Structure 1
Amino acid sequence: GDMACHIMDPLYWALDLKYPVSVSASSTLANLYSPPQAQKIRYKFPARPAKGKVNMPELTVYWYDGGLFPDRPEELKDGEMMGDSNGGIILVGTKGKIMTGCYGMNPTLLPTSKMADFKQPEPSIPRIKGGNGNIWDTNAHEQDWIRACKESPKNRTEASSNFGFSGPFNEMVVMGVLAVRLSGLQGLHRELQWDGENMQFTNISPTDKISIVTHDEYTVVDGDPKFDRRFAEFNALEMANEWIKHTYYNGFSLPDMPS
């Protein structure tokens, strides 16, 4: 729910994504309190209305972390890096591929030699005042957020990442966390079907169970390795509902996200 929001933002916005219809995942071992060291997640999205002259058919989004990578594009030359040292995106279309670094920075066509004949389009997306395209040089993004908070809801210009956009986007991102917990190593071993409008899985039954590591210890006794790994069994549907809409104590609660 952190770096994925930074990295997947360009594709979520550009491709008009909202809720996935299904999600599945695999990962290294996780436990009741800590995430896995590495994971791979697959989201499937339905067709969306065309965006101008561009059709928006069904598509699949893959997420990798913890040192896992997608297959290296054959268009990259030896020595050329996928993305940058912090991550990146590869968009695979019917007519070619686009690659970016982390935060969608430094987009390029693949192979990169195609950039020699590429004409940059004229800017059409509103820019944040004070920004220069490099998030490390200014705090314009944060200032845009503060400005929107101060302006009246009746006539304010929405922040570029207002809750109407960032709320559903974050829900989509953390669907991957749910997939790791529910369909991964000790999970249900199935592709989970998601009803985004009602925030619920539609193919988890009231009797389904998942196992989660609660204790994992390794020792060496007189040169002999000893493993002490223990699991606890939980009702999958109850855990899913709790993770989706957490029970807050001491009177705390969260308002409903805007539609």
Structure 2
Amino acid sequence: MPLSRRSFLAGSGPIIVSSALVHRLAWGANDRLQVGCIGIGGKGASDVADVAGAGAAIVALCDVDESRRGKKGKGAQDVHPGAAFYKDFRVMLEKEGRNIDAVTVSTPDHVHAVASIAAMKLGKHVYCQKPLAHSIGEARRMAEVAAHMKVATQMGNQAHAGEPIRRAVEWVRAGLIGKVREVHAWTNRPIWPQGMTARPAAEPVPAGLDWDLWLGPAPERPYSSAYCPFKWRGWWDFGTGALGDMGCHIMDMPFWALDLKHPLSVEADAEGNTPESGPKASTVTYRFPAGTYCETLTYVWYDGNRMPPADVIDGAGLPEKEVAKKFDLVMIGEKGKFFFQRGNTNWATSPRELLEEFKAPSPTIPRVQNEDVEWVQACKGGPAALSNFSLAGPFTEQILLGNLAVRLGRKIEWDGVNLKATNAPEADALIRRAYRKGWELA
């Protein structure tokens, strides 16, 4: 008997059987991780390819748009013809529960938590794209479930596994610029529409797309090409704007290097934010307490082609436009400035001698081939992937806290332990969002 949405997400029903819940206890040298992929278009297509390239066997594919299945020989099922195809991830988990060890989740943001938690509650390892969740409460819950179920997890902020970030974390902690007091990070995004004041007119649903399944836990509304594909990022019901899209990449290294926990407060200056849509541009300012590697810290995020003031980026030896292209961020510490880029090690300091004369410490963070190999090996009993949900969950909470300040239009005093905006009780409805009936978070 097919499961209802409610019974599945509540963790009851005939799918909950021992063979689906038990981790594989022993792995032979030639055993392949059996993976089901949820969301196989866009970034999902590359996630399917990358996990397969890391040695996993793709045994099931799921997408609400049947056209993603195969197109002119380039679709996921064209490449993996033996993989079963499903439109509904709940049906995939019900029917393939005994056949898969792990899942990838590469859906729009609003489905990340419901899909990931459903899989983890069946004992499946999970790789989930960034941002880990659509709301702060979801990020907390995902980390809790992952810890309880003892599954191997990884968030898809790929550079976290790369040499540049891991080396920079070691160098910052070794005192490259001394204790850090400011971080400024930027992006040119959004590169999709934002600042919309009203919902678009209804359009016919494209052939092959199950719009009801695409909506999933989000409030019901008619289909429009203004949402799907890709442009969902700019709508609050589905996406998390430029900060959610890129913050988990660009803001990652300082969060890790400085061992940042809960901020004391966050406030935002946003242009074009509306109840429906994220802003056209924003500046978000977090303030963190002092720690081992930082003084009382100000961490500022800029999007929509905004940049820090000239005196902040002075010292890179480049015009502002070149600084914006060459680097992701600048850290300011006791000794000077560190201009960082996550994609390479062509960094700069001001004064230059800080980098030229720095005695690099011996590596202490494991180096890996890439994030997919790191996760696949973790699923097979190896060391935990370093962007696992115990790190990615709290990190995503802080990223999405910036959106809370944007949406409320006021400074937020933050109690991170209890997920409370102590000066803004109206924030509760955004911290833990509502779900469409039948899609409640387990």
Q: TM-score, normalized by length of structure 1? A: 0.68
Q: Which residue of 2 aligns with 1:244?
A: 431
Give the total of aligned pairs: 196
1:16 aligns with 2:259: yes
- Shift, 1:89, TM fit: 1.2
Q: Which residue of 2 aligns with 1:193?
A: 413
Q: What are the superposed Cα offsets for residues 30-83 of structure 1, whole Å, 9 maximum, x if unpaired?
A: 2222211110000011123x3xxx5x3321100001010002333232447325
1:204 aligns with 2:391: no
- Using the aligned pairs only, state the percent identity: 39
Work out which structure has the larger RCO, using CA pairs closer than 8 Å and 6 or more positions apart in sequence: 2
Q: Which residue of 2 aligns with 1:149?
A: 379
Matches within 5 A, 1:1-259: 1-48=244-291, 50=292, 54=293, 56-72=294-310, 73-79=313-319, 81-82=322-323, 84=325, 88-102=328-342, 105-112=345-352, 114-128=354-368, 130=369, 140-151=370-381, 156-183=382-409, 190-204=410-424, 237=426, 240-254=427-441
- Shift, 1:102, TM fit: 4.3
Q: Which has the higher strand share?
A: 1
Contact 1:7 1:104 in 2 (8 A): no
Q: Take 2:255 and 2:441, find their aligned partners in 1: how far apart are those partners?
A: 24
- Shift, 1:105, TM fit: 5.0
Q: Take 1:249 and 1:104, find their aligned partners in 2: how far apart are those partners?
A: 43
Gaps of 5+ in 2: 1-243
- Shift, 1:104, TM fit: 7.5
Provide the secondary structure at the position in 1 that maps to 2:413: strand
Contact 2:419 2:431 in 1 (8 A): yes
Contact 1:83 1:102 in 2 (8 A): no
Provide the secondary structure at the position in 1 that maps to 2:365: coil
Contact 1:5 1:170 in 2 (8 A): yes
Gaps of 5+ in 1: 131-139, 184-189, 206-236
Contact 1:88 1:104 in 2 (8 A): no
Q: Take 1:28 and 1:5, find their aligned partners in 2: how far apart are those partners?
A: 22
After superposition, the CA RMSD in angstroms is: 2.2
Q: What are the superposed Cα offsets for residues 200-221 of structure 1, whole Å, 9 maximum, x if unpaired?
A: 100125xxxxxxxxxxxxxxxx
Q: Take 2:402 and 2:302, find their aligned partners in 1: how far apart are those partners?
A: 11
Q: Which has the higher helix share?
A: 2
Contact 1:193 1:202 in 2 (8 A): yes
Q: Take 1:127 and 1:150, find their aligned partners in 2: how far apart are those partners?
A: 18
Contact 1:42 1:62 in 2 (8 A): yes
